[in-house]
Amino acid sequence: MALLEVNDLTVKFYTQEGVVTAVDDLSYRIERGEKFGVVGESGAGKSVTALSLMRLIESPGRIESGEILFKGEDLLEMSEEEIRDVRGNEIAMIFQDAQTALNPVYTVGEQIAEAVRHHLDYDDEEARERTIQLLDTVGIPEAESRYSDYPHEFSGGMQQRAVIAMALSCDPDLLLCDEPTTALDVTIEAQILEELESLADEFDTAIQLITHDLGVVAEVCDRVMVMYAGSPVEKAPVEELYYDPKHPYTVGLMSSIPRVGDRRERLQTIPGTMPDLVELPPGCSFHPRCPYAEDVCTKREPPLLNPETGRDASGTDAERAAACLEYTGELQEGLDYEVEIR
Ligand code: SF4
Ligand code: MG
């Protein structure tokens, strides 16, 4: 049994401007201990997906349909009380901004100890010891004396480490990380990602890592799902995706990674922007930006390339699949990039 299995998840937001389909018929699975990346531009539905797993979608948002099986049980069927038990205990979440996760009026140690007491039923002394151990594990030097520091006495990187320690305090089976290092500078980012990866191994925690940065995914993940406008466009083991991307959008994302030795100014971006989610373009929603779009693309949706089972395009519309694969093949030939895997 997969640790997490999301089937046909659809999430909509009923806004003044209309109904926004933030996540559209999304399916994926994460195995125990697996590091799974979710990549896409902002508006792709990455964060909404993670919040759905925690059942934290708030009005005007609504989970319309689908199931979220966690260890075989549908999170969407659980009572408020049951889901609260899962949240934080079995599924924990780390956000981009560590500052919002830390309460400025309590010391870092007290906050983590509180989480430890809450989740593990430890007494004060045990919780303190466990906290110091956790701070040490996530790479905070002199953890014992830093225990009584307030969040503002920590650097940005240290704050994010503390948040990771807090998330790990309950020994979750799944850790949702939403752009956990976006706010940090590159050196600190690399350190924290490395730390996160080895902690996940040590604690045998699966990670769902959300990012707009394929470089970050390369560093940490085993498998990756690329999302566009609420739908997955490609899923693959990370190396396959890097060396042989199939979907034009993935190829576009790849070419927006700086090449080895290149500086930022040569960075390409995919022309255009994410479509209006209230009114998605018909057919393949990427067609207004796709350099290989043909008439047929405006009429029919392409099948998901590269489903879990392998590299073949699935779906009944084999013709469409073949066409899209052929286009992407051409696209790759015309594209001379090297991918830097840090
Ligand atoms: Fe979509 Fe057509 Fe481009 Fe494939 S070739 S990504 S179906 S627009
Ligand atoms: Mg987001």
Tens-place pLDDT, residues 83-103: 999 987 899 999 888 878 899
Between these two residues, 210 and 253, which has the higher pLDDT value? 210
Between these two residues, 75 and 250, which has the higher pLDDT value? 75
Helices 124-137 and 156-168 pack at an angle, to 10 degrees, of 130
Provide the whole-model pTM: 0.85
Q: In whole angstroms, how far apart are CA 37 and each of 28, 214, 221, 224, 305?
A: 11, 9, 6, 4, 16
Question: Out of 43-52, 66-75, 111-120, 290-299, which region has the weakest mean confidence (pLDDT)?
Answer: 290-299
Ligand 1 atom showing the smallest separation from residue 301 Cα:
7
**List of residues 6+ apart from 35 with CB closer than 8 A:** 197, 200, 206, 207, 209, 220, 221, 222, 223
Distance between CA atoms of 116 and 128, rounded to whole angstroms? 9
Distance between Cα 294 and ligand 2 center (Å): 31
Pairing of strands 35-39, 174-178: unpaired
**pLDDT grade for 302, boundaries at 50, 70 and 90:** low
Distance between Cα 283 and ligand 1 center (Å): 9
The reply to whether ligand 1 has any atom less than 6 angstroms from the CB of 302 is yes
Phi first, then psi: what are they for 183, rounded to 5°?
A: -80, -5
Q: Percent of the chain beyond pLDDT 90?
A: 49
Q: Which residues surround ligand 2, an ion (CB under 5 A)?
A: 47
Question: With left for phi above 0 and alpha for psi between -120 and 50, is residue 306 left, alpha or beta?
Answer: left
Q: What are the strands, taking DSSP E only, across 16-103?
A: 18-30, 35-39, 61-70, 73-74, 91-94
- Identity at 218, one-letter amino acid code: A
What pLDDT, on the 0 to 100 scale, is given for residue 104? Answer: 93
29-55: average pLDDT: 94
ipTM, interface predicted TM-score of the complex: 0.93
What pLDDT, on the 0 to 100 scale, is given for residue 304? Answer: 62
Length of the chain: 342
110-119 contacts, C-beta under 8 A, 24 or more apart: 111/162, 111/166, 112/162, 112/165, 112/166, 112/169, 115/88, 115/166, 115/169, 115/170, 116/169, 116/170, 118/88, 119/88, 119/89, 119/169, 119/170
Mutation test residue for ligand 1: of 251, 289, 290, the one with most atoms within 8 Å of CB = 290
Distance between Cα 262 and ligand 1 center (Å): 29
Helix (H, G, I), strand (E, B) or coil at 38: strand
Cβ burial of 280 (10 Å; 0-12, 13-18, 19+) is middle
Q: In whole angstroms, how far apart are CA 258 and each of 7, 262, 265?
A: 35, 6, 9
Q: Percent of the chain beyond pLDDT 70?
A: 84
24-42: average pLDDT: 93
**pLDDT grade for 120, boundaries at 50, 70 and 90:** confident
Per the prediction, the chain carries an average pLDDT of 84
254-274: average pLDDT: 62
pLDDT over 60 (residue 7): yes
Tens-place pLDDT, residues 303-314: 565 444 333 444
Distance between Cα 45 and ligand 2 center (Å): 7
pLDDT over 70 (residue 56): yes
First to last CA, the chain: 32
8-25: average pLDDT: 94
Q: Is the peptide bond before 60 cis (omega within 30 degrees of 0)?
A: yes
Write the DSSP string, 298-319: GTSPPPPBS-TT-SS--SS-HH
Mutation test residue for ligand 1: of 247, 251, 292, 299, the one with most atoms within 8 Å of CB = 292
The reply to whether ligand 1 has any atom less than 6 angstroms from the CB of 293 is yes
- Identity at 213, one-letter amino acid code: D
What pLDDT, on the 0 to 100 scale, is given for residue 90? Answer: 95
The reply to whether ligand 1 has any atom less than 6 angstroms from the CB of 327 is yes
The reply to whether ligand 1 has any atom less than 6 angstroms from the CB of 248 is yes
Distance between Cα 40 and ligand 2 center (Å): 9
**pLDDT grade for 128, boundaries at 50, 70 and 90:** very high
Distance between CA atoms of 27 and 66, rounded to whole angstroms? 9
